[in-house]
Structure 1
């Protein structure tokens, strides 16, 4: 290990040197390999410590790496980086990124493993810097946490550019692990790549425009993706839903020219009871007759983010070959206004026989989930988890750092919370108190209302969860309201602008822990 104290000096000389190197680099680097190395730093900008891999590289290069870092000044703060050219090694370009303090671990106050999150951010930063200068291949050291490094890099290099002119699309370099490795490091790296690739699957599904991601197209894409991995994919049509008396689900689909689809996915690799994942699959949400404002309505192409996470999670679990049984249930529909659309005040019947007054057609997610949750119990699961971009109220409550979770099982929630601390994609438990149900069940003319008549936004996410609870009369259940984490924000620097695919990695980590424990 190497610890160095240094002063800031020769900035002007170094700036000229770096500029000269950059000016001749772009064309030269197109078919070249870049390297990303890490350094630990402290807040006082006087401490710098190379990772073991970076230290070995520095020794082999006769100290030239460390010399250049010191000359460039305190620019390797946590999450930031420097790019160096032509340091006399086999790599024409090297990115050095700051990892923060060595030994960072779980922070109870923040409820996150800061060491792993620091690695994700640094790996993403370094790889993006090399992507910008045009290298075709990137070697990334594991930074002591190869799974997190693989996640940050794989997430950071990807962006949705499906409909951009091919000549203007950013090139995504090939990514490989660098440095001496053992079997454990390689396995961790491979797991991280799979988890991040799965989240990228969810990002792509959610960001695809609604005219290119109808319920039918979503089902086709899912079938192509998962069938090749041995997952059983069953595509149910409107007639099947009618035979199951899913009137709540079908009421949302009435206003759209696109036929609804109920997607059923089976991954079977264990003898125990299945875990059932239910994903909200509204491929476009106009609000129906209760029309949304036009401002930012285009973002409602991502209202199937829960469905995308279910597909992505099963994709990752299949590649990881986890010893678990998973069932994915995805009601798919558009929510559109038309002459045949459900009107505010209409009464519909759910699969469990309960009547529902639909006072707000923009509260449609709970309507399609109601039938899916009730149907889920036919499989006698050990746990039902629904994932849905359900309410704007959860965004008001928590913002983008965490998704809200409502659960009737403290043990399962605690396991999910631990998984989220590891993944860096946090969850926060919200209340399922009886008081939230009172306004929903107080109608004189029906069993349920789909909204309450109170002031808008007050406890809205809790009221929506209380509605869903009416369709889970027994068994363990968790509801994840992911509306607040649907899109990117400055809180996650390793995700490019667009839909996030969150909380895919948290779900994969959670299910992986359950599979390991034999649950």
Structure 2
């Protein structure tokens, strides 16, 4: 979808050639003498339109307006959240139409948040999954013009929003692919393809190389599947070599049966979404190459399936992680933390500025926060505040949960350094405390996206969250300026071989 930002007043919007003109109407609408203003004023006076978010009024061949179809949409106070609701309602109504060009007229006085919401809201609502359909429904909407009072003033927000839309769609498409398509091998291929197209550095390791590194916890989860594991490293280097990178770690379980501790069969198909963290990391990198911020970012993706088999790991097994810590497996359906802990240890070699892991980790987080906010845990108050602010700005919110040491009491065991589960109480926090053990050497945050990475029911599908949050956070870090790695030296290389060369996957 092609987006354009254009300076447009209501009078100019009336003459703009398009299939549909969408006019957003605030509670404080000021009537003018142009055809668009007259139409809005008449609709408000007749009470056929309310300026509340989500309220729509359709008009056809309105006098003095070039677009044959006009949609008037209430957007309340004109804030980003209200604009997003209005645009999503209107764009959703157009999905079954043959409209190819849409003009969205934002109210005068709206800010950057409204521009961002208009772009991302339109992209989200017009997205259609077609990859595995024999007769795919075509996506008709090709061009979207965002009309604002001053295009020059909104240019930066527009470019950021357009990059976010590209990254979110990339993540959604990966998340929606069926598990026999989106295998660990496929994720490695997608990372390699992106790197070659956009000048990134990539490394994709197979099981033999992962074993040589010492990721015993990660490989134990992969043992029960015929699909080989992959460990993916992506490098975006937009700043100097001496600037410490931000590391994003994405859980890449491409299908989760629960292993020997098998899940109930109902809705198990949705476990293809268990690679939502990996998809969000890849989507964030897709957005980064659009924006090209002056920042260094590393992406780490441990990816495998969790399957029941004669060779599967099982309750009672003792695993040795890359950190050297031993782990007693009490439940094989708590596998995400077992692949992430090795990736979090691996992240230390980059001397990171901060590490953020993203994972569909616990059903307990869904119980706590539903599908509105992602759960967020952090060892650093500044990092936590930055993520909250980024989520609010991107309309991709998170909520900070505690990391008190007492929550880790249930992870004690007689047979290893730590167990992989405890009791039911505080499950999301206990999982975060497990990961916390492997993050002692850098500022760390954990985003539990089990409730936000996908939707079920009639709207079933990947959401692409939290790409918007992550991109907003990274852009803010560019503005703040990145510190140099510890000791003023450049960050360490990813492995013993050059990171720019793809190593053969076993």
Q: TM-score, normalised by structure 1?
A: 0.84
Match of 1:501 among 439, 452, 464: 464
Partner SS, residue 278 of structure 1: strand
1:446 is matched with which residue? 416
1:127 is matched with which residue? 91
2:451 is matched with which residue? 484
Describe how 1:399-414 pairs up with structure 2 within 5 A.
Answer: 399-414=370-385
Partner SS, residue 485 of structure 1: coil
Q: Distance in 1 between matches of 2:100 and 2:34?
A: 26
**Root mean square deviation of aligned Cα:** 2.1
CA contact (8 A) 1:95 1:130 kept: no
Query: What is the Cα deviation at residue 226 of structure 1?
Result: 3.7
Residue 516 in structure 1 maps to residue 486 in structure 2 = no
Superposed CA offset, 1:50-85 (max 9, x none): 5xxxx66x6146824532454461455312211111
1:362 is matched with which residue? 333
Residue 34 in structure 1 maps to residue 20 in structure 2 = yes
2:486 is matched with which residue? none
Superposed CA offset, 1:363-397 (max 9, x none): 00000001000000011001000000000000011
Match of 2:352 among 339, 364, 381: 381
Residue 231 in structure 1 maps to residue 200 in structure 2 = yes
Partner SS, residue 247 of structure 2: strand
What runs of 5+ residues in structure 1 fail to find an aligned partner? 3-30, 42-47, 103-114
Superposed CA offset, 1:434-483 (max 9, x none): 1122221x22221111112x3x3x11111111111111122100011110
Match of 1:138 among 102, 107, 110: 102
2:118 is matched with which residue? 149
Superposed CA offset, 1:176-219 (max 9, x none): 22355432323322321221221111111111110010000111
Describe how 1:15-414 pairs up with structure 2 within 5 A.
Answer: 33-41=19-27, 49=29, 59-60=34-35, 63-68=38-43, 70-71=45-46, 73-88=48-63, 89-101=65-77, 115-143=79-107, 144=110, 145-166=114-135, 168-178=137-147, 181-271=150-240, 272-414=243-385
Matched positions, count: 459
CA contact (8 A) 1:146 1:189 kept: yes
* Worse-superposed segment, 332-341 or 71-80: 71-80
2:488 is matched with which residue? none
Q: Distance in 2 between matches of 1:399 and 1:37?
A: 33
Partner SS, residue 212 of structure 1: coil
Superposed CA offset, 1:287-346 (max 9, x none): 001100000000000000000111111111221111110000000100000111111111
Partner SS, residue 228 of structure 2: coil
Q: Distance in 1 between matches of 2:37 and 2:278?
A: 53
Match of 1:473 among 440, 444, 462: 440
Residue 432 in structure 1 maps to residue 406 in structure 2 = no
Q: Distance in 1 between matches of 2:453 and 2:379?
A: 24
Partner SS, residue 343 of structure 1: coil
CA contact (8 A) 1:278 1:386 kept: yes
1:110 is matched with which residue? none
Query: What is the Cα deviation at residue 485 of structure 1?
Result: 0.9
Q: TM-score, normalised by structure 2?
A: 0.86
Q: Distance in 2 between matches of 1:97 and 1:241?
A: 53
Superposed CA offset, 1:88-139 (max 9, x none): 321000111111135xxxxxxxxxxxx1111111122222323433211111
Q: Distance in 1 between matches of 2:334 and 2:37?
A: 65
2:503 is matched with which residue? none
Match of 1:421 among 392, 399, 419: 392
Q: Distance in 2 between matches of 1:200 and 1:142?
A: 23
Partner SS, residue 228 of structure 1: helix
Query: What is the Cα deviation at residue 157 of structure 1?
Result: 1.1
CA contact (8 A) 2:207 2:228 kept: yes
Q: Distance in 2 between matches of 1:75 and 1:488?
A: 29
* Worse-superposed segment, 145-154 or 236-245: 145-154
* Worse-superposed segment, 154-163 or 341-350: 154-163
Q: Distance in 2 between matches of 1:149 and 1:216?
A: 35
Superposed CA offset, 1:142-180 (max 9, x none): 442222211111111113232234353453442222355
Does the C-alpha gap of structure 1 residues 238 and 122 become closer, same or farther in structure 2, counting only changes over 3 Å? same
Q: Distance in 2 between matches of 1:236 and 1:66?
A: 62
* Worse-superposed segment, 254-263 or 224-233: 224-233
Partner SS, residue 254 of structure 2: strand
Does the C-alpha gap of structure 1 residues 344 and 402 become closer, same or farther in structure 2, counting only changes over 3 Å? same
2:3 is matched with which residue? none
